[in-house]
């Protein structure tokens, strides 16, 4: 949540030692702090209505040992250069990622329409019994192919949810054929999204190659992409909320996050409506050419202090960057009685009874907003909800692709994302978020976050988790 200079100085005493700080009126601080650790502070220079990034202080602990020093006024020129280089650093990655996610959403919408209109058997089970569809493999192949084409396959390393084993079996020939067709139909539209498609349609082996190329195991060094081709597959097959999530992780830290939410309603109250009702309403009041009723991509670049939303492109329109993008900010609500908390729909994915107890104990009065997928992160970033909590059963290991994109977007929108011990999520240890303390908590602001963390500590021992 943006803080003014004086409240930041009160909260973070070390700031006082840097007396040559920029004029407070020209300085805006974004802080994502927790009781126990601070993950990121971005200092921006607000001048002539333009916010330019000066410096990021990341990962410092309660002893206030900062990892990089604060810029001084006389160094402004230099710091603006830093801003430019930071902006330049991930701009191509962000641009390609947003376009690829727009395409992936277009693909998913087509497949989901098909699911809704035909009640045929298109849902398959993975070894862990979780559902997977043509869309999961097709998005993975499409995004993998687009990233490799844009950056060169040697430079692209991807961690993603799906593998090709079940798709390569003899009995899956029909499914594989459907995936190849879906991928080619989507890639044929690439120029509309400002990307280049293949000169001739991809063959089966190329599609399988693109899927299986996503075999990186992540880790603490270098760059890799984390992709969840269809997050919330259950929501997807039910015609409800789902997301396409892509993030670039560098040296263990997500630096770019993009979430495509094809069914995200522009009116926040529709998030809690049943999806069938929403579909009827959409038919009764179709969007005008100037507005969109649902479907967006949210994105952010680490350290920019900004997160953005743009609509999905409609019909046969072309994506013209930045495609009516506008900034999003977390909600300013700090009073739990006014706050909305969101959580997974499936009680098998998070304990509804434990979160209900936490919500009650901190004074949250509203009913929980139960939404599939990383759309919950989007809801916090956009200010449509204030708290997200997830407490999986003991033994379940959270995967990086389910959280990385959402974490960077919420943090840049001004919010806080940590585990239930108040520590930043660790994306540097492979495909799982290792060392996660009990659960995940994302909040619009530090005050709400601290209250929830305290409530977890107070009630954990008596819980059955
Ligand atoms: N037993 C479990 N506990 C917690 N999370 C689980 C789970 N089984 C699956 N998930 C994760 O929860 C995600 C769905 O999130 P949500 O419950 O918030 O809608 C799934 O993403 P996929 O649908 O991409 O597999 C999966 O990664
Ligand atoms: Mg997922």
- For residue 23, report the distance from its CA to the centre of ligand 1, in Å: 46
CA distances to 116, 178, 283, 305 from 120, in Å: 9, 14, 24, 45
Terminal C-alpha separation, the chain: 31
- One domain, residues 73 and 120: no
- Domain around 11: 2-89
Instruction: Kindly tell me if the per-residue pLDDT of 47 is higher than 70.
Output: no
Query: Please, are residues 38 and 31 in contact by the beta-carbon 8 Å criterion?
Result: yes
Instruction: Kindly tell me if the per-residue pLDDT of 43 is higher than 50.
Output: no
Task: Dig out the tokens for 152 from the structure.
Answer: 């060169």
Task: Dig out the tokens for 72 from the structure.
Answer: 């001084």
- One domain, residues 197 and 247: yes
Instruction: Give the span between the Cα atoms of 23 and 45, in whole angstroms.
Output: 9
- Report, as an integer, the average pLDDT of 180-199: 98
- Residue environment code for 1-13, b if the CB has 16+ CB neighbours within 10 A, otherwise e: bbbebeebbeebe
pLDDT band (50, 70, 90) for residue 59: very low
- For residue 307, report the distance from its CA to the centre of ligand 1, in Å: 25
Residue with the larger pLDDT of the pair 3 and 157: 157
- Report, as an integer, the average pLDDT of 435-457: 97
Residues ≥6 apart with Cβ < 8 Å to 224: 157, 158, 159, 216, 218, 248, 249
- Residue 422 is assigned to a structural domain of this protein: yes
- Residue 330 is assigned to a structural domain of this protein: no
- Residue 164 is assigned to a structural domain of this protein: yes
pLDDT band (50, 70, 90) for residue 399: very high
- One domain, residues 302 and 154: yes
Instruction: Kindly tell me if the per-residue pLDDT of 386 is higher than 90.
Output: yes
Residues ≥6 apart with Cβ < 8 Å to 10: none
Residue located via tokens 């509804």: 352
- Residue 20 is assigned to a structural domain of this protein: yes
Minimal-distance CA residue to ligand 1 atom 20: 232
- One domain, residues 243 and 294: yes
- Ligand 1 neighbour 388 (Cβ under 6 A): no
Burial class from Cβ neighbours inside 10 Å (0-12, 13-18, 19+) for residue 211 reads buried
Residue 199: CB atoms within 10 A of its CB come to 5
Minimal-distance CA residue to ligand 1 atom 14: 232
Number of domain units in the chain: 3
Instruction: Kindly tell me if the per-residue pLDDT of 397 is higher than 60.
Output: yes
- One domain, residues 266 and 405: no
- Ligand 1 neighbour 233 (Cβ under 6 A): yes
pLDDT value, residue 462: 86
Residue located via tokens 């209505």: 49
Minimal-distance CA residue to ligand 1 atom 27: 402
Whether 233 is catalytic: yes
- One domain, residues 55 and 203: no
- Ligand 1 neighbour 349 (Cβ under 6 A): yes
The two beta strands, 387-390 and 341-343, are parallel
- One domain, residues 70 and 52: yes
- Ligand 1 neighbour 432 (Cβ under 6 A): no
pLDDT band (50, 70, 90) for residue 271: confident
Instruction: Kindly tell me if the per-residue pLDDT of 1 is higher than 90.
Output: no
- One domain, residues 456 and 366: yes
- Report, as an integer, the average pLDDT of 437-447: 97
- Residue 329 is assigned to a structural domain of this protein: no
pLDDT value, residue 314: 87
Instruction: Kindly tell me if the per-residue pLDDT of 346 is higher than 90.
Output: yes
- Domain-ending residue, one of 288, 322, 356: 322
pLDDT band (50, 70, 90) for residue 419: very high
- For residue 146, report the distance from its CA to the centre of ligand 2, in Å: 21
- Residue 64 is assigned to a structural domain of this protein: yes
- Ligand 1 neighbour 465 (Cβ under 6 A): no
- Residue 27 is assigned to a structural domain of this protein: yes
Minimal-distance CA residue to ligand 1 atom 4: 349
Q: Tell me the CATH number at 180.
A: 3.30.540.10
Whether 437 is catalytic: no
Q: Tell me the CATH number at 379.
A: 3.40.190.80
Length of the chain: 465
- One domain, residues 135 and 200: yes
pLDDT tens digits along 72-125: 333 444 444 545 566 678 999 999 999 999 999 999 999 988 776 665 567 787
- Residue 327 is assigned to a structural domain of this protein: no
The one catalytic residue among 133, 142, 182, 233: 233
- Domain-ending residue, one of 279, 299, 322: 322
- For residue 344, report the distance from its CA to the centre of ligand 1, in Å: 8
- One domain, residues 437 and 306: no
Residue with the larger pLDDT of the pair 119 and 128: 128
Which range, of 75-79, 347-351, 378-382, averages the lowest pLDDT?
75-79
- One domain, residues 316 and 255: yes
Q: What is the largest CA-CA distance in the chain?
A: 70
- One domain, residues 98 and 240: yes
- Domain-ending residue, one of 89, 124, 150: 89
Task: Dig out the tokens for 352 from the structure.
Answer: 């509804």
- For residue 176, report the distance from its CA to the centre of ligand 2, in Å: 22
Instruction: Give the span between the Cα atoms of 347 and 307, in whole angstroms.
Output: 30
Instruction: Kindly tell me if the per-residue pLDDT of 289 is higher than 80.
Output: no
pLDDT value, residue 436: 98
């Amino acid at each position: 949540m943006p803080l003014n200079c004086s409240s930041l100085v009160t909260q973070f005493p070390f700031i006082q030692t840097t007396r040559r700080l920029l004029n407070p009126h020209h300085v805006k601080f974004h802080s994502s702090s927790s009781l126990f650790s601070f993950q990121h502070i971005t200092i921006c220079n607000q001048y002539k209505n333009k916010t330019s990034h000066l410096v990021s202080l990341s990962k410092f602990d309660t002893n206030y040992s900062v990892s990089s020093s604060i810029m001084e006024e006389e160094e402004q020129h230099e710091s603006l250069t830093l801003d430019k280089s930071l902006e330049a650093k991930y701009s191509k990655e962000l641009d390609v990622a947003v376009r690829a996610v727009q395409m992936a959403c277009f693909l998913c919408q087509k497949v989901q329409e098909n699911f809704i209109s035909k009640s045929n058997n298109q849902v398959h089970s993975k070894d862990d019994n979780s559902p997977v569809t043509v869309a999961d493999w097709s998005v993975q192949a499409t995004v993998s192919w687009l990233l490799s084409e844009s950056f060169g396959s040697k430079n692209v390393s991807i961690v993603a949810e799906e593998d090709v084993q079940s798709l390569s079996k003899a009995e899956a020939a029909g499914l594989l054929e459907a995936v190849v067709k879906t991928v080619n139909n989507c890639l044929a539209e690439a120029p509309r999204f400002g990307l280049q498609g293949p000169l001739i349609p991809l063959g089966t082996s190329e599609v399988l190659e693109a899927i299986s190329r996503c075999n990186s195991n992540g880790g603490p060094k270098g760059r890799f992409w984390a992709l969840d081709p269809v997050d919330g597959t259950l929501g997807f097959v039910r015609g409800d909320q789902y997301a396409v999530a892509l993030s670039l992780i560098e040296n263990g830290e997500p630096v770019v996050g993009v979430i495509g939410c094809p069914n995200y309603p522009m009116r926040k109250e529709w998030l809690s409506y049943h999806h069938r009702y929403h579909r009827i309403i959409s038919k009764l009041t179709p969007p005008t050419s100037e507005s969109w009723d649902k479907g967006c991509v949210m994105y952010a670049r680490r350290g920019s202090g900004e997160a953005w939303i743009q609509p999905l492109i409609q019909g046969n329109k072309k994506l013209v960057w930045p495609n009516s993008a506008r900034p999003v900010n977390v909600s300013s609500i700090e009073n739990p009685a006014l706050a909305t908390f969101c959580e997974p729909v499936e009680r098998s994915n998070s304990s509804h009874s434990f979160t209900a107890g936490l919500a009650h104990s901190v004074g949250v009065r509203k009913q929980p907003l139960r939404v599939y997928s990383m759309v919950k992160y989007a809801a916090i970033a956009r200010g449509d909800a204030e708290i997200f909590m997830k407490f999986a059963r003991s033994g379940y290991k959270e995967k990086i692709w389910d959280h990385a994109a959402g974490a960077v977007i919420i943090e840049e929108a001004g919010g806080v994302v940590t585990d239930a011990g108040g520590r930043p999520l660790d994306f540097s240890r492979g495909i799982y978020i290792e060392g996660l303390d009990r659960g995940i908590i994302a909040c619009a602001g530090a005050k709400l976050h601290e209250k929830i963390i305290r409530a977890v500590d107070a009630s954990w021992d008596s819980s059955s988790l």
